[in-house]
Amino acid sequence: MTKPKYKTMGQQFGRRSWAEPWKIKMVEPIKMLTREEREKAILDAGHNTFLLRSEDVYIDLLTDSGTNAMSDRQWAGIMLGDEAYAGSRNFYNLEDAMRDHYGYKYLVPTHQGRGAEHLISQAVIEPGQYVPGNMYFTTTRLHQELAGGTFVDVIVEEAHDPSDLHPFKGNVDLEKLEDLVKREGAEKIAYISLAGTVNMAGGQPVSMANAKALRALGDQYNIRIFLDATRAAENAYFIQQREEGYQDKSVAEILLEFCSYTDGAWMSAKKDHLVNIGGWLAVNDAELFDQLRNLVVVYEGLHTYGGMAGRDMEALAIGIVESVDDHHISSRVEQVQYLGAIMLDWGIPIMQPVGGHAIFLDARSFYPHIPQDQFPAQVLASQLYLDSGIRGMERGIVSAGRDPETGDHRYPKLELTRLAIPRRVYTQSHMDVVVEATKELYDNREQTRGLKMVYEPKQLRFFQGRFESL
Ligand code: P70
């Protein structure tokens, strides 16, 4: 017999192959437009991928938020919706699931993550206070600012370097934090804003040791810690894979321990929890809970639905349980790792190490000839759509917005284009198409020119801003 010519993907990586821990029961057809059609679509969208119609997109990597595939059980849960205005049984199922897997005492449901950010910011920030955190997130920081707070970045320095291989680039730099506390006084700190797998840093995790040390510091100065738990299950998986002493613990156990070092959390359930809409806020302090429960009825809905339908809460309760399953989480994160490994192997500049939910293309290295105020990451997102109908998102100077004091652009060190992978939606073949398209752009990068902004909204300008080619 002749030597076999072909290798499976596992063999190419020197391991036994594994496959997704699910099979497909229903499909949603997608199509690729012609180059001319895509050209028209991206011009109509002002080079902003948020303004494209989803029907014009071939592989949609705009976000992993609300774009996940629900399981048959979650869909069955939809039929069990108890649409009572008050006291829906689905709320109690959600409360139980949160307590079992996150361990907080009290739950306030919200329509999505930013609803929860709004409530916690209004409740615990006094105007003039600081909110230190491990890198900003757009909506989180905006709500902190709207409540009169000032966000202060205290993430480790390594997080700002796209090629640094630190395994926990989401960690808080405890020295930076303590300096701020000593300089301003503990009473000027509203709380510590900790995010599990830091979105804007490339989906980088926080170690358990860092969370523990943060707790000690919080106790010493009497400062509370609130967790953005949006992708904390993915954070727990990285701890299991990378941190000494956690290899034999389940993701569920790790998540519970991680949360135990914090005083509460907010959640965009549209990510880890595998639903299309939903969120929550949870705290341990009874008095704070009372305050939040009063606020939620003003802005979201009654405290037993908070803007969600009963059926949404049921799908979410089931999603929480599925999200901490070790087989699920490893296949989810490893799919992202697979895409990243090939990109790195092919010399495409990406943020390293590869995070949990997305590949972040390093637009500065991609287009060194395009200055930051000509929006290289926006250019890259636009070009990727034009080349192959793949939709990503700008995460650079446009996302960073303007400094409220000076009015000038904020110039972030990271100028990234994010390709976020929805959970349980795309296969390995889709990942292969993505990496080949990106390589094509990389090979032809020198011809590409910058953009100018022709329409700029005041808040969160990346959502609706418009651009023209230079
Ligand atoms: C994304 C989405 C949402 C998000 C998050 C973290 C770490 C809170 C939220 C808000 C959607 C998005 C939001 C703003 C700009 C671009 C995209 N992230 N914390 O794609 O939650 O969307 O439910 O209100 O990642 O990363 P929600």
Pocket test for ligand 1, best of 112, 117, 137, 300 (most atoms within 8 A of CB): 137
What is the distance in A from the centroid of ligand 1 to the CA of 65? Answer: 7
C-alpha 185 to ligand 1 mean position (Å): 31
- pLDDT at site 13: 87
Q: Cβ(464)–Cβ(457) under 8 Å?
A: yes
Residue 291's H or E segment, with its range, is helix 286-299
pLDDT at 1 over 80: no
Pocket of ligand 1 (CB under 6 A): 63, 65, 112-114, 137-140, 195, 199, 228, 230, 268, 270, 279, 420
Cβ 108 vs Cβ 305: under 8 Å: no
From the candidates 138, 140, 262, 438, give the one annotated as an active-site residue.
138
Cα of 240 to ligand 1 centre, how many Å? 25
Per-residue pLDDT at 95: 98
- Residue where the block lists tokens 């890259």: 380
Contact 314, 80 (CB under 8 A): yes
Specify the DSSP class assigned to residue 125.
Answer: P
Task: Quickly state the pLDDT bin for 308 (edges 50, 70, 90).
Answer: very high
User: Which of 102, 246, 462, 467 is the catalytic position?
Assistant: 462
Quick: pLDDT tens for 90-131: 999 999 999 999 999 999 999 999 999 999 999 999 999 999
> In this structure, which residue's CA is closest to atom 8 in ligand 1?
113
* Residue 273 scores a pLDDT above 90: yes
Q: Is 261 a catalytic residue?
A: no
Contact 465, 456 (CB under 8 A): yes
Phi-psi region of 197 (alpha: psi -120 to 50; beta: other; left: phi over 0): left
Q: Give yes or no: 228 in active site.
A: yes
Ligand 1: centre distance to CA 225 (Å): 20
Query: Among 246, 151, 262, which residue's Cα sits nearest to residue 213?
Result: 262
- List, as one string, the DSSP characters of 346-370: TT--B-SS--SSEEEEEHHHH-TTS
C-alpha 12/C-alpha 3 separation (Å) is 16
Q: Can you give the pLDDT at residue 209?
A: 98
Contact 302, 86 (CB under 8 A): yes
**Residue 75 pLDDT > 90, yes or no?**
yes
Whole-structure pTM value: 0.95
Element spanning 441, H or E: helix 428-443
pLDDT at 3 over 90: no
pLDDT-derived band of residue 2, with 50, 70 and 90 as boundaries?
confident
CA of 39 to the centre of ligand 1 (A): 28
| Measured CA distances, 346 to 114, 165, 343, 438, 440 (Å) | 37, 18, 5, 10, 11
The residue whose CA is least distant from atom 6 of ligand 1 is: 230
| Mean local confidence (pLDDT), 292-314 | 98
> Does 404 have pLDDT greater than 90?
no
Q: Which two tokens stand for residue 300?
A: 């979201």
| Mean pLDDT across the chain | 97
Instruction: Give strand ranges (E) for 327-411.
Output: 358-362, 390-391, 393-395
